Amino acid sequence: MANHKSALKRIRSNETKRLRNRYQHKTTRNAIKKLREADKKEAEGMLPSVISMVDKLAKNNIIHDNKAANLKSNLTKHVAAL
């Protein structure tokens, strides 16, 4: 267990950030699944918001930049092919 006040605070803040990151990541994954199951019109409407969510994850280093680019590319291709 940590002995310093600052270390205890760091443990608390790390847990808060971990939970926030998990929530954002899971929410984005669910949005991607809904987008893939949606029909053409609905998917086209959802695409900008899902891409924005993916960009925010990459910006906050929750996912890697290249993974974000691959996700956006694949989703865009999927919607175009509907």
Q: What is the pTM of this model?
A: 0.83
Q: DSSP alpha helices (H): ranges in 1-82?
A: 5-37, 40-59, 65-81
Give the pLDDT of residue 32. Answer: 96
d(CA 75, CA 34): 11
Give the pLDDT of residue 82. Answer: 87
Q: Which domains does the chain possess?
A: 5-81 (1.20.58.110)
Per-residue pLDDT of the chain (82 residues; tens, 9 = 90+): 778 999 999 999 999 999 999 999 999 999 999 999 999 999 999 999 999 999 999 999 999 999 999 999 999 999 999 8
CA 78 to chain centre: 18
d(CA 42, CA 62): 27
